[in-house]
Structure 1
């Protein structure tokens, strides 16, 4: 195998591929990237058995062949080469040799027959959408996915296709996020799949806003195709039941709040909160919102936001400031509305201009 390619053409793909390898040392081949040359292009593959990456790219091919090599080491070498460097790759049946200018490297290889392959998908369901739309849905939701492996249904992004809509839902044990987009056509078959958090995050990194993305699934695996890149992933078998049902509850109390001003106030007041609860109180009255911290050994802080119009009765409600700020950071509208039932009930946060919303559990404290 022998070929040459410019650094900038191959480095981004190897960077992405490196995120699909395993670094746990269980199986060395899982740390490798497979490189295969065909007549006019190279195919790159990486897999950790749970998800896989494949990409094709044009190159100057002198001799076809196939091998696997450490993805991280290959990435580190190419990254440090000068910009616009031409890199010559040559595999002699044992070692992979890289030459660029006066730089020369020799890398150990592993035979490709040991490289894992994902089971081919026979798609039962297929959708095609704008990458920009999918990127926005993932950006608004995936930060709410739980990292707790004991509840596997909470460790993924729920993709639900119904009618002419795609809704993505995510939740941990204190927050729920949902976001949806509409298609020009209706889909005859409804389906829901739960995509692992790691896969969802890597997909969001790959999305080119100018391209379409094709999504295919057989309910056991899912495949995303973006231009010359294909990502495969196993699916989570369990689901969170009725993930969006709490959004349909009647919330009799609401207030419209300026987003960036609120964010700044919460950041300031959170500096004096407890490291454990991070509790802050939102005290709503008819014309103002008073934001203050729970009293701690460090002291207390408060700040008033004037002109916040309240609909319904006055209410004090306590939230974890860290979780609240993470939600507010993902709101890009000038205002948002918070909807409440009571001070111990979850609240709904709805941005002004988007088809996404959040539920945040209140901290239940009787005295403060």
Structure 2
């Protein structure tokens, strides 16, 4: 195996591939990246057995061949080579030689024959969507994916197709996020799958590699194809069938709030909140709207907000400031609506425009 590549061409692919290795795994080969030099380019592969990466780089190959090397060490070496440098890769049967300018390195290898591959799938469902659309859907919802493995169905991003509509939703135990987009054409097969959090986070790093992303799934695995990059992933076989059901509830109380002002106030007041609850009180009264911190050993804080509209009776409702701030940070309109029922009921946050919305559960403690 021998080929040459400019650092700027190969380094991003090494970064991507290294994210899919399993550095702490006792199976050393899962810490490695497979390098496959073919006549029409070089393919890098990596997997931790749950999610996998494959990316093809159209570089000039002098001699074909295959080898695996430590992903971390390969990344560390290529990172320090000056930008724009030409790097010469060659394999002598036991080590990969990396030469650039006056620098020369030899990396030990493991037989590529024991390198695992993701299982083949026979796609039952196919979807093609603009990368920018999928990126926005995932970005506006992925922060709500739970990291608590005790409820496996909450640890992924729910992707559902209903005719001409794609809906992506995520939930932990205090909030729900959902975002949707409509296609120009209608897909006849309706389906729902649950994509693991790690897959979603890695996908967000790569979605700008091409204009479109193709999605194939058999309900147990999924393949995302983005230009010359493929991401393979096992799916979470449990999912929440009625994940967005709570959005259908009637919410008679409505406040219209300035996004930037509200976010700034929440961040300032939350500086003195409890490290456990991060509790802040949204206090609506005739003509006034004030954000209070719950009293803690550190003290209290409050600040009033001028730019708001509210149509209901006086109401104090307590939220986790971090949860609310994260939701508001993902809104891209100047104003948003907060729909409520009462101090103990879930509230819904909706932007002025856009096919996405959030539900947040209040903290059930008394203010005083």
User: Shorter chain as normaliser: what TM range?
Assistant: over 0.9
**How do 1:104-183 residues align onto structure 2 when only pairs under 5 Å count?**
104-183=104-183
Q: Is the 8 A contact 2:209 2:226 kept in 1?
A: no
Relative distance call for 1:209 and 1:289 in structure 2 (3 A) is: farther
302-311 vs 1-10, greater mean Cα deviation: 302-311
In 2, the alpha carbon distance for the partners of 1:365 and 1:219 equals 41
**TM-score, normalisation: structure 1:** 0.98
Distance 1:11 1:109 in 2: 19
Determine the C-alpha separation between the residues in 1 that align with 2:36 and 2:118: 17
User: Which runs of 5 or more structure 1 residues have no equivalent in the other structure?
Assistant: none
Helix, strand or coil: the match of 1:290?
A: strand
- Residues 190 and 113 (structure 1 numbering): CA distance in 2 closer, same or farther, change over 3 Å? same
Report 1:178-197 matches (<5 A). 178-197=178-197
Deviation at 1:19, TM superposition (A): 0.5
Instruction: Give 1:192-231 correspondences, 5 Å limit.
Output: 192-208=192-208, 211-231=211-231
- When residues 247 and 147 of structure 1 are mapped into structure 2, their CA distance, relative to the original with a 3 A threshold, is same
1:260-290 Cα distance to aligned partner (Å, 9 max, x none): 0001111111111111211110011233211
Superimposed CA distance per residue, residues 40-91 of structure 1 (whole angstroms, 9 cap, x where no aligned partner) = 2111110110011001111121111111111111111011001111111110
Alignment of 1:339-354 (within 5 A): 339-354=339-354
| 8 Å CA contact 2:209, 2:227 repeated in 1 | no
Matched, 1:254 2:272: no
The answer to whether the 8 A contact 2:210-2:226 is kept is: no
Retained in 1: the 8 A contact 2:253–2:311? yes
The equivalent of 2:28 in structure 1 is 28
Whether contact under 8 Å (1:167, 1:180) holds in the other structure is yes
**What is the alpha-carbon distance in structure 2 between the residues aligned to residue 156 and residue 266 of structure 1?**
28
Query: What secondary structure is seen at the aligned counterpart in 2 of 1:181?
Result: strand
Determine if the alignment matches structure 1 residue 74 to structure 2 residue 71. no
Superposed displacement of residue 328, structure 1? 1.0
- How many equivalent pairs are there? 368
- Indicate conservation of the 8 Å contact 1:252/1:340, yes or no: yes
Deviation per CA, 1:177-220, whole angstroms, max 9, x where unpaired? 00001100111110000000000011111011751000000001
SS at match of 1:271: helix
The answer for the alignment partner of 2:46 in structure 1 is 46
Cα distance, 1:307 vs structure 2: 4.3
Query: In structure 1, how many angstroms separate the alpha carbons of the residues matched to 2:77 and 2:127?
Result: 38
Deviation, 1:366, is 3.2
- Please give the secondary structure, in 1, of the residue aligned with 2:140: helix
Aligned CA RMSD, in angstroms, stands at: 1.0
